[in-house]
Every structure is written in structure tokens, then in C-alpha cells.
A and B are shown apart, each in its own frame.
Chain A
Amino acid sequence: MSFVSNYFMLSDPEIVDNDELREPQVLAYLDAYKHFVEDKSTRDAVIVLPTGAGKTGVMALVPYGISTGRVLIITPQLVIKDHVVESLDPSVPSNFWLERKVFSSYEQLPIVTEFDNNTLLHELENSNIVILNIHKLSSQFRNSLLKKVAPDFFDMIIIDEAHHSPATTWRTALEYFKNAKVVKVTGTPFRTDRKPIEGKVVTDYRLGRAMQLKIVKSLENFRLIPDELYLTIDEDENRRYTVQEIIDLGIKDEDYVHRSVALSPECNNQIIDEAIKVWKSKKEGSSVPHKIIAVACSIYHAEKLQELFHKKGVHALVIHSDLDKPIRSRILADVENHRCDAIIHVAMLGEGYDHTYLSVAAIFRPYKSLAPYSQFIGRVLRKVPDSEVKKPSDNIATVIAHSDLGLDALWKEYHKEMKICSIIEEVKKKERSEKKLDRALSGKSGAYDKSTASIEVSEELTIEADHYIVSDLIIENQKFEEELMRKINLFKESMPELGEEEVRKFLLSQQKPAQTRPELKNPKKYRMLIRERFHNRIYEDLPAHFIAHFEVEKEGREFANALPPKYKWIGINTANDNAAIISIYFNTRTKEQFGARETWRIDDYYRAEEYLDSLVEHTLDVINSILGKE
């Protein structure tokens, strides 16, 4: 991959007719294209997409055919930045462009750089996309991007989660790059300070439609627990009030009540019990690793909830910003790798954190405004891929909160979207039956007659195919039974005192299938074999495969400069030869993905093997694109 300054105008991505892309992604792209190219507007374009509808993908598509230069993507939080970097990292085989078939080869991808303190100017100059978190734009920051590049360095600026209020940093940055096209992507058209986001809303994609198209999970089972609740004030056990009494009598304000409910162990227990019940019913008969995500008021509160979950046999982890980064990373890796049943967070995973299998949202804190509330619910809306779905409820998210947390008004917003979803569904059904009726009534379309004829044929074919495999099995078993009877009779000839059943049992116990699984006989050895196989793949097979594939010497260092930029450090150590570089690279990538090897369980090895399969193919392409040019 070499730098081409006009890359986004010269590339030929598959966007409009690409079935791998979601409807909101294509629509948002077309809307942005119309706004900037056809309407030649200089106003900021605002794209409103519900969480889970594919915002990162929109950011990956929007520059094509629109941006005549470099693109800057600004994220509001480190968790979001990490997610965007991971999705748009060309060195990852599952990067958005290849995974969604926007491009078919690594060489067609843009050069993407994550901006940090060590990023050099020439790296920025040779990038098509630069990604950074907002704090790296602060003018007080010694290594601020604003101090490194000229105002016309970027032609397009994409702001992720643009509903964050425009702090001074944002304003300064946008004023600095004042001639750049600005695209603001968000899940809500309102800023956190409730003011509308500046710019023209070019796309406003409804959550209800995303649910109807099954782009995101459905929220059909929204549950509130309508339990009558009594509160005592100032530890006076003699007088108990209902929530309504406290508010009517003006003893305390609503905030007080909501906070009390959120922290009450009784209410917490009710929510936990309900969450566990729903979670267990989702897991029943499904191999989807559903999990609960909970939000707590404080770290102390989160730890109390963790205890309650543990007492009920649910392994819950707590994450908050006071934890050191390595600990936070380990906890997130545990969630990714299904080493827990629930994750409780305190002001951390509100937005931008994506884990497909979060299916039950338990709310243990009050919310005042829609934006953070919907961001939290957005965590459970990511769709479980069709290939993994075992039952319909796998793609239904459940939100559980206490009715006295004061969330009713916010819930109504979601209810409206669910109504929209069901209305669209009804309209579609009617449209379908209307079309069928039209066809039948008109009688003039040859298609109607043809379809009847083809159904008859295909039914017969199906029956034949159905019959095939079972009948062959029966024949196979008849042969087996005949052979077994022959042996039983032979046995009985020489040992007539033995009963037929006895001989049958003995013969069957001696009978082995053509394919046995000897490794299963000793589970300890099985575990060891899985570990060894993986180790050998990393330290022997892969270096050998790469060395042979590129026809280089083991002792050479050709791979030192051929790894993706993020992993160049591996090649810097001159003691590492080609074999070592490949081993360290794959070892590092699997460690990043699954955590340290000593924490892996058998499942992790299985998944790591699959991960390596795709990573190897992709790394061959990456290295080929660099070595092939030399």
C-alpha cells in the first residue's frame, strides 16, 4: 500500500449495490453524497443512526467520492476510539471494508493511522485517515495535532458521537480546520446539553425501522417491575411512605426518591432476580453466550451488586474508570471471551462499547435525560449474527428497571420506536398480500402460472432428497445388523451355552467406528494436545509457512519492515530473525485478542485457532503488498 493523496476520489468501492452493507449505511452515504457533492453544501452534515445500526461503517464509507484529501476521525472517548481503530485497522482481517466486501483486497484499502504522542509528521502525511481521541486536539496538549499540521491538512472531519456538547476543544479544532467538510455522526440529534447539534440533519434513521429490518435486536420484552414500595425517611422506622406519598406531601423531591430506589437492596434484589430469570431463559436451549450488562450509581454500589449477583450464582465483573488500564483491559477481555455472566459498569460503558452478546440490560441508577439512557440501552441492541442464532429470543434484548426509578418517560420513547417497528411490519405484510392478490386477480402475469408449476416440481425434488440420506442410513444399518447376526451365529455354533443377547453385547463392545476419537479417552492429555498444537502452530508451523511462502531465509529479516505499522516494534530488535518476527507477531495478536495464554480455557484455544485462520490469510496479503513491491 502506498500513499495516494486523492485516494478517496480515485477508489472504486462497492457501496450502493452492496448487499453486505446495511440499509442505514447505504442511505447515510447517499445522503452525505447528495449534501456535499450534488447540493454543494458547506454546512456540517449530521447523520443520526441508532446504536447498532453501523455508525463506524458509515464513517468508513462517507469519504469515498466526497473527500478530496485526508480524513480526520475524532472520537469522544478512548473506548470508542479503540473500537473505531480496531474496525478500521487494515491489518485486521475483519476490518470493515474487507468484511463488508466494500473492497476485495488489502491493497485497495486506505492508509489508516492512529494519532498518538509518537506519531511522526511523515506518518500523518502518508495517511488517508487519521483517528484520534478528542483530548489529543487540545491546544494545551504539548503534542496536540493542531500543533503538527496545517489548517488545510484534512479535507474531511468526521465527529463520532457528535451529541457531546461542543467543548472548547471541539470548537477550536473545527475553527482551525475551518475549510474541511464536517460530518457529525450520532445516535441522537440532541446534544447532551439538549441543544440541537449544529448542521443539517441529512439522515435520521429510525430505531423502529432498524428493529423491523432486524439490523438491531428487538426490544419486545421491555420490563418494569411494578412492585409496591415503601420508604422510610431519616431512619424513622415507625413511618413508612409510598413513593407517591413522599412526592405528594413534598417531604423529599423526586431525585431523592429515585436515588433511594436505585440504592435500595430490596429493589436491587428484585432487579437482579428478574435479570437472572430472563438471562437463564435466554440461555436455555441456546449456545449464544448471552450476558447481563448492569449500570450502577457508584463504585461502592457496583461492588454491592456484584456481591448480590455472586450470591445468586452469577459471575459478575465490575468495571469503572478508577481501575488501572491493564485491569480494565483484562476485564473487557474476560467479557469478550465469555469468562463472565454479567458486567456491571459505573459511567464507563455508556456508549461505544460493543459486545454482541449483551442481551439483558439491568438498570440500577436513575437517568434524567434520554441521551445517556438510550446510549446504555444501545449496549444490548447489537444483533447476534444469524449464523449463531438458535432461537428467536437470541435477538430480543430485555431491559429491566424498577418502576420507581423514574424512567417511564424515557421508556415511552422506546415504546414509540417499537410501535413504529410493528407498524412498518404490518404495512409490509399488507403490501405483500396486496401484491399477491394483484397478481392473482390480474391473471395476466405469466409469472403466476409459472410459479405454481415450479412449486410442484420442487416439492417432488425435495421429497426425493429428503428420502435419500435416511434410506441410505437404514440400508447401511441393515448391512451392519446382518453382519452382526452372522457373527452371533458363528459364536453360538462354537459356544451354544451363550445367550444371543450376551453375545450381541460383547460383539458390540468390540466394535469400533471407522473414526474413533482416541484423544477423548484421556481428558488431561486432550487438554495438553490442544495447548501443544497451538504452541506448535505459533512457533513452528506459521514461521515455516511464511518463510516458505515468501521464499526467504529463516535467518533473514525481510519481515522486519513488512508488518502492519502498529507492529513495527517487533522488527526493530535486530536479534529477531524472520522466524522470530512471525512467531512474536502472531503471539502478540492472539494475546491482544484473548489475553495471556495462561488464562485460556479450552474454548479460548478453539476460538484462537479460528482467529488465526483468518489472520494468517490476511497477514499473507499484508506482507505480500509490501514485499511484492520491493
Chain B
Amino acid sequence: MTLVKELHDAIYFSPVLPQDLLQNLSDPAYLDVRFESHLDGLMVTLVFIDESEQVTAIYYFNRSQILQRVEMIEREHVSILYDRMEVIVELLKKSGDLSKLEEIKRLMAA
């Protein structure tokens, strides 16, 4: 896949959709799957038990339902599982031209 195609996907598509997360409700290890509005978009909080430990995952989507960020909270520590801006920055780094980030941000906002 070309770099441009990868960038295009990162800007215009979401690797996960909010409705994909609903499927987790069928797993009894999930204690809660909660959808709430967040800024202009949506925040989905999933609480589950893994290895006898309660873990929380939070998914942030923008108003176009494109995934922005996924956080996992384990013992009060937050790890970032996905960050859309970071994916884009990494792709720009591969292209050798980070200076386009501002223009890409404008494309994303359009």
C-alpha cells in the first residue's frame, strides 16, 4: 500500500467504529460498555475483568465517528493504545516531511 493511501486511510477512515464495540457485551468478562457524548463526538467506556484485574478502556471518536484515541487504564496508569495524530505523524515522518502536519490538520477539520 502506498504511503499516500495509508495517510488517506488514517485521515478519512476509522480503524474501529463505535458499533463494533457493542459486540463485547456478549462477553461476560465485560462489566460495562457505556456510550456518552464527548465534546462534538462520542466516548465509549468499556470496563472488563482480565486476569482478576479490573481494566477500563476508553475510546474517543470525533463527530464523524472516526477514532481519535484509545486509552487503557490499569491500576490508575493510562497507556495509549491508539492515537490518530500519532499514526499520521509517523506516516509523515516516513514521507520525510513533517512540515505538512498543519495542512493535514486542516484537511482533517474540513
Interface on A for B, CB 8 Å cutoff?
A: 315, 338-339, 465-466, 468-470, 472-474, 476-477, 480, 509, 511-517, 520-524, 526-528, 601-603, 606
**Residue of B6, B14, B57, B76 touching A523 (CB-CB under 8 A):** B57
The residues of A that contact B21 with a CB separation of less than 8 Å are 521
The minimal Cβ–Cβ distance linking A313 to chain B, given in whole angstroms, is 10
- List 17 extra interface pairs beyond A339-B75, A511-B13, A603-B79, CB under 8 A: A339-B77, A469-B3, A470-B104, A473-B4, A476-B4, A476-B5, A477-B8, A480-B8, A515-B1, A515-B6, A515-B15, A516-B16, A520-B15, A523-B48, A526-B72, A526-B81, A527-B50
23 A-B interface contacts by CB (under 8 A): A315-B76, A466-B100, A469-B3, A469-B7, A470-B100, A470-B107, A480-B12, A512-B13, A513-B13, A514-B1, A514-B9, A515-B1, A517-B16, A520-B15, A521-B16, A521-B21, A521-B23, A523-B55, A523-B81, A524-B24, A524-B30, A602-B79, A606-B79
The residues of B that contact A472 with a CB separation of less than 8 Å are 4
Question: A522 and B79 in contact (CB under 8 A), knowing A469-B95, A469-B97, A515-B1?
Answer: no
Chain A CB within 8 A of B35 CB? no
- B15 & A516 in contact (Cβ 8 Å cutoff): yes
The residues of B that contact A516 with a CB separation of less than 8 Å are 15-16
The minimal Cβ–Cβ distance linking B47 to chain A, given in whole angstroms, is 10
Question: A520 and B55 in contact (CB under 8 A), knowing A470-B107, A513-B13?
Answer: no
Binary contact readout B17-40 vs A (1 if CB under 8 angstroms, 0 otherwise): 101110110010110000000000
The minimal Cβ–Cβ distance linking A464 to chain B, given in whole angstroms, is 11
- B100 & A524 in contact (Cβ 8 Å cutoff): no
Most B C-beta atoms less than 10 A away, residue of A476, A524, A603:
A524
Interface on B for A, CB 8 Å cutoff?
A: 1, 3-17, 19-21, 23-24, 27, 29-30, 46, 48, 50, 55, 57, 67, 70, 72, 74-77, 79, 81-82, 92, 95, 97, 99-100, 103-104, 107
**Residue of B4, B5, B81 touching A520 (CB-CB under 8 A):** B81
- Please measure, in the bound complex, the distance between the C-alpha atom of A511 and the C-alpha atom of B14, giving whole angstroms: 9
For the complex of A and B, list the 5 residue pairs with the smallest distance between their C-beta atoms, beginning with the closest: A523-B57, A513-B13, A513-B9, A517-B15, A602-B79
- A473 & B9 in contact (Cβ 8 Å cutoff): no
- A601 & B75 in contact (Cβ 8 Å cutoff): yes
Question: A523 and B7 in contact (CB under 8 A), knowing A466-B99, A511-B13, A513-B13?
Answer: no
- A524 & B77 in contact (Cβ 8 Å cutoff): no
- B72 & A473 in contact (Cβ 8 Å cutoff): no
- B9 & A515 in contact (Cβ 8 Å cutoff): yes
- B27 & A524 in contact (Cβ 8 Å cutoff): yes
Which A residue sits closest to B70, measured CB to CB?
A520
The minimal Cβ–Cβ distance linking B42 to chain A, given in whole angstroms, is 14
The residues of A that contact B99 with a CB separation of less than 8 Å are 466
- Please measure, in the bound complex, the distance between the C-alpha atom of A465 and the C-alpha atom of B100, giving whole angstroms: 10
- B15 & A473 in contact (Cβ 8 Å cutoff): no
- Please measure, in the bound complex, the distance between the C-alpha atom of A514 and the C-alpha atom of B7, giving whole angstroms: 11
- B9 & A469 in contact (Cβ 8 Å cutoff): no
- A470 & B103 in contact (Cβ 8 Å cutoff): yes
The minimal Cβ–Cβ distance linking B48 to chain A, given in whole angstroms, is 5
The residues of A that contact B27 with a CB separation of less than 8 Å are 522, 524
Most B C-beta atoms less than 10 A away, residue of A472, A480, A520, A523:
A523
The residues of B that contact A511 with a CB separation of less than 8 Å are 13
- Please measure, in the bound complex, the distance between the C-alpha atom of A606 and the C-alpha atom of B83, giving whole angstroms: 15
- Please measure, in the bound complex, the distance between the C-alpha atom of A339 and the C-alpha atom of B23, giving whole angstroms: 32
Most A C-beta atoms less than 10 A away, residue of B1, B15, B55:
B15
- Please measure, in the bound complex, the distance between the C-alpha atom of A465 and the C-alpha atom of B97, giving whole angstroms: 8
- Please measure, in the bound complex, the distance between the C-alpha atom of A465 and the C-alpha atom of B16, giving whole angstroms: 32
- A466 & B97 in contact (Cβ 8 Å cutoff): yes
**Residue of B5, B8, B55, B92 touching A524 (CB-CB under 8 A):** B55
**Residue of B9, B13, B74 touching A602 (CB-CB under 8 A):** B74
The residues of A that contact B14 with a CB separation of less than 8 Å are 513
- A513 & B79 in contact (Cβ 8 Å cutoff): no
Which B residue sits closest to A481, measured CB to CB?
B12
- Please measure, in the bound complex, the distance between the C-alpha atom of A452 and the C-alpha atom of B91, giving whole angstroms: 33
The minimal Cβ–Cβ distance linking B108 to chain A, given in whole angstroms, is 10
- B15 & A469 in contact (Cβ 8 Å cutoff): no
The minimal Cβ–Cβ distance linking A519 to chain B, given in whole angstroms, is 9
